[in-house]
Each structure stands twice: as structure tokens, then as C-alpha cells.
Amino acid sequence: MEYGLDLEYSFNEFLKGFGLSSEIAHIIWLPLPMLLVLVAAVVGVLVTVWLERKISAAAQQRIGPEYAGALGVLQPIADGLKLLVKEDIIPAKADGILFTAGPILVLVPVILSWLIVPFGQNLLISNVGIGIFLWIALSSIQPIGLLMSGYASNNKYSLLGGLRAAAQSISYEIPLALSVLAVVLMTNSLSTIDIVNQQSGAGILSWNIWRQPVGFIVFWICALAECERLPFDLPEAEEELVAGYQTEYAGMKFALFYLGSYINLILSALLVSILYLGGWGFPIPVEIIAKFLNLPINAPFIQVFTASIGIVMTVLKAYLLVFIAILLRWTTPRVRIDQLLDLGWKFLLPISLANLLITAGLKLAFPQFFGG
Amino acid sequence: MSIAITTQIICFSVLSLVILIGALGVVLLESIVYSAFLLGGVFMSVAGLYLLLNASFVAAAQVLVYVGAVNVLIIFAIMLVNKKEDLKPISDIKSRRIISTSICLTLLSLLIRVDLTNVWSLSNPQNSIGEESTIRIGEHLFSDYLLPFEVASVLLLMAMIGAIVLARRDVMSKDISTGLPVDQELIEKSSEPLLTNKN
């Protein structure tokens, strides 16, 4: 399976053609994929915000944004610019340092997690060995930022929102990690690349969703809870807490929270598609198509084609899930805090534990289907 | 000196500085909230040191366990009971300080002794396992370190049961600290809604 474009290698060879040493070529290469992923994340947020506005309008039989660009596609940019030029206010009785550090601590781990999101065999920033575990570890930093901003705002609604966010995030991390563990058990590896390759045998039939239906549902519920999306948006429940931990924030600091929550949503959708929906895989394996068209799999044209198909498929699957998340947000009521914790600890945790045990048993019984 | 080594040295010195200053801040700062947040920063920098040593699994586990669980719970507890009250002066503060200082100095001398006697340089640096460490840690946890691993989980279970006993005194008829019968009226919620006796 070691084929596909290796852009880093080609880029380094290209720079060496100008007489640069391989180390300098590597240093010039390093920021490029990072910048690309950052831009991709921000553009993804703009698209998601537009989708959210349009779909919510459709759900409520409104038109939604219409005048900023065709169908209002420029509305998110207008929103962003507005937040950029707004005055940056720190409340007089607030704790200035923690108030500023909070939003940063919320955003940075989310962006760092994009390190492991693959769009193709070699199309990711770093194929670290711990892969998906890195994401679980990084997402556990976020509640500290939320608690920090909730505390520093010197506002009781903020503090309550921060505490709720931390409690929610701790409780849903455990079933989330357990359902990831079941997938890892089947793959024998933590690397996201291996997880996708393990599902690429027979196209849509070999996706993990058929082998891990319970894990898929548990993961999706927990991912929504970690993103604080309705029906789990208790930390910022408007009717109870004004806006939770964001209450005192304005301007760019508020924009950081906003960006963070939407990037987290896209990241969760991407990870669901990687873990359960075959990642960059086309429903029919590309090898079969290439064989059908009598083309060699290593031809440059086919390689560019498969790489673009991979990116399109990853983004398509992710946005399908984002669509479902938006639809859920505008059609379901919010759960109460005790219902939320009951669901997490008394329902999802035992179910994901049982799922892990059954997966381990099935792996021993049918090693050819559940990864030997 | 190659670029990789320079980067490594810069990262190492920044991380060690953050750890030292952060740890001093945790101990010396007056505000307990700042101490708790700084502790999180120290844990993160230690994870960074692990990363520099090519132990990425240990680094991620450090972040998950210490930052994501321990530190969040510490901050959580501080914020739930953060009362602005002056602490009562302790009568025998001097003798307590002497005892704690001597214990800390003993621990420090023990650490220095370990540092001086242990042979730190690897006999064969090429033999480092790097990314394979995840598998090796798993093998050890399920073979020769199985008993300590399980005993640690029993310890955690004991701590958890203790916390439940302390938090839910209403299930017991006697207060565990004083031995007096517990007044349960305050703890149990009234069964009828509050608004019914208003009209």
C-alpha cells in the first residue's frame, strides 16, 4: 500500500535542484503544510458558519443571509471582520492575565489536533506513532481553558458555564476514548493512516461503521458533547446562563472561542469519518476502478486523481456529518445537566465498555474480519 | 552543530526554565488559583521534555492524566470551595515549618544521590526504541509489571470509595467524624414542590 503522492519528497528534491542543502529545504518545507492546514481549518469554519445560518433558516422557514454575496456566502467573512474590528474589552474586576489566556488555551489544542488528520496516504502534517491518542490527550487540555475563562470573568454565569463545561468534558472523554480503543484494537495501531488503510480493503463494505455500529453512535454522541453542540450545549445555555463562559468576552477573544468551537466540530466530523467511514477511501476501491480502466496504479495521472478523490471524499464525509450536527442542533431540545451526566456515566460508559469487550472477543473469534 | 541539535537545545532550555519558574510559582504564589493553573503549565512542560526524549506515548499519557484529569479536578475543587476568607493563624507554625523543611531536604538529598550514582549514558544509543515504545509499555504492563499496575488500580478504588463516603454522609445514620446522629432534614429534599404551600 506504499504508493501515493509524496509532496514533501518532491518539494525537497525541487529545492535541492537550486543547490540548497537538505536541512534548509526541510526548514522551508516545514511551515507550508501547517499554514495550509490552518487556512483549511479557517475556511472550513467559514463554510460551516454559512451552512449553519442557511440550514437553521431553512429549519425555521426563513431565508437566512441573502445580501452578502450570492446566497449570502460572504456573511461569515462579514461576521469575522466585525469581530476583528470590535473593541477588546476586559471587565474592570476581571483577572486580566487569565482572561486573555483562557481563549488561547481553548483554541490551541484544537488546532494542534489537526496534526493527525489525514487527507490521503501522505497528505497529513505528521504521521506520529501515537496518532489518535494525541488527539484524545490534547482535547483534555481544553477544559482548563474553559475553567480559566469562566473564573477570570468574575461573573457567576461565566463560572457556572466553565464548571459545567469541565464536568461535561471529563465525563464524555471516557466513553469517547473507550470507543476509539475498540477501533484501535481492530487496527493494531494508533496511527490514523493505519486506521484508514485497515478499512480500505473492500470499499464501503469494509468501513468500520459495519463492524463498530455501537462504537460509531457512542463516539458521535460523545463528540457532539465535547463540541458543546445542542442537545449538549449546557455550558452556554442561553436561557439559563446568558452565554456561559463567553458572557464577558467581546471582539477577537470571543472570536477565538467561536473559531475554537467550530474548528472542533469540523475536527470531530473529520475524525468520525476517519475512524468509522473509511477516511479518504472511495466507496468503490480506486484500485478496482484503475484495473477496470486498464490503467497502472502508479501512473502520475492516476496518483493525482486518487489524491484529489481522497481529499474530496474526506471533506464530503466530514461535511455530511457537520450537516447532521447542524440539523440536530436546530431540531432537538437541550438536555438537563443531570440527564447529561446520567447519559454519560450510566449509559454510554457501560455500553462502550461492553463494546470494547465484545470487540476483543470477536477479534479472537474471527481474526480475519476484526483484524488479527 | 546541525539544525536539529540546536532546536533540541533551545527547546530543552525553554522547557526547563518554564518548569523551574512554574514550580517555584506553584509553591510561592499567594493565590491558590494561580498556583493550580501554573501546575498545569509545569505538567505540560514535563510532557514536552518526554517528547524531546522521543517518548511520545509517555508525553501524551502525561498530558491526558496529569493535565486533563488531575489538574482539571484540582481546579474544579478549588473553584467549588473558593471562599474568600482569611486563614486562621496556626499556633505552632515554626515547628511545622522545620519538620516540612527537613522532610523536603531529605527527599532532595535522596534525589541528588540517585542522580549522582545512576549511570545515565546509554550503552548503545542506537538501540533506542522510539515509536515502538507504546508496544513495549503495553507488554510490560501485562507481564512483569502486572501486579504493581493492578495494585495501583486498587489504590485508586480505595480513594474513590473514601470520596463517596465523605461526600454522601446522608446514607449513614451517624456522622463518621463526630459519632453523633446525622440531622438528615437539611440533606433530604422535600418531597412536595415548594410552590404548593404558598397559596
pLDDT of residue B195: 53
CB pairs under 8 A between A and B: 72
pLDDT for A3 equals 44
Q: What is the DSSP letter of B144?
A: T
pLDDT at A137 over 80: yes
A76 is written with which cell numbers?
461569515
Q: Do A147 and B71 touch (CB under 8 A)?
A: no
Cα separation, A355 vs B106, in Å, equals 49
Instruction: Tell me the three cell numbers of residue A166.
Output: 469541565
**Contact flag A170-B69 (C-beta cutoff 8 Å):** yes
- Cβ A166–B3 below 8 Å, yes or no? no
User: Which letter, b or e, does each residue of B42-65 get, where b requires 16 or more Cβ atoms within 10 Å of its Cβ?
Assistant: bbbbbbbbbbeeebbbbbbbbbbe
Give CA separation, A141 vs A110, A129, A200, A362, in Å: 9, 20, 32, 34
Of the candidates A357, A269, A146, A213, the one whose C-alpha atom is nearest the C-alpha of residue B40 is A146
Q: What mean pLDDT comes out for the span A287-308?
A: 74
Do the beta carbons of residue A241 and residue A161 sit within 8 Å? yes
Specify whether the CB–CB gap between B25 and B35 falls below 8 A.
yes
Residues of B in contact with A147 (CB under 8 A): 72, 75-76, 79
Best interface-test mutation with B: which of A27, A142, A151, A157 has the largest number of B CBs within 10 A?
Answer: A151
> Could you give the percent of chain A with pLDDT greater than 70?
96
Q: How much is the pLDDT for B128?
A: 66
Nearest to B72 among A23, A129, A144 (CB): A144
A interface with B, Cβ–Cβ < 8 A, is 23, 27, 98, 128-130, 133-134, 136-138, 140-141, 143-144, 147-148, 150-151, 159, 162-163, 166-167, 170, 173, 190
* pLDDT tier at A2, thresholds 50, 70, 90: very low
Kindly state the average pLDDT of the residues A349-372: 85
The average pLDDT across A183-209 equals: 82
CB contact under 8 A, B76 and A166: yes
Q: Are A187 and A131 in contact (CB under 8 A)?
A: no
Note the pLDDT tens digit of each residue in B130-181: 677 788 888 888 888 899 888 888 888 888 888 777 777 655 566 656 666 6
- Asked if the Cβ–Cβ distance from B71 to A130 is below 8 Å, we say no
A134 vs B contacts (CB less than 8 Å)? 56, 60
Q: How far is B53 from chain A (nearest CA, A)?
A: 15
**pLDDT (average), residues A210-233:** 86
What cell numbers appear for A269 in the block? 466530523
| Residues 6 or more apart whose Cβ sits within 8 Å of residue A75 | A49, A50, A53, A65, A68, A69
Q: Which pLDDT band holds residue A6 (cuts at 50, 70, 90)?
A: low
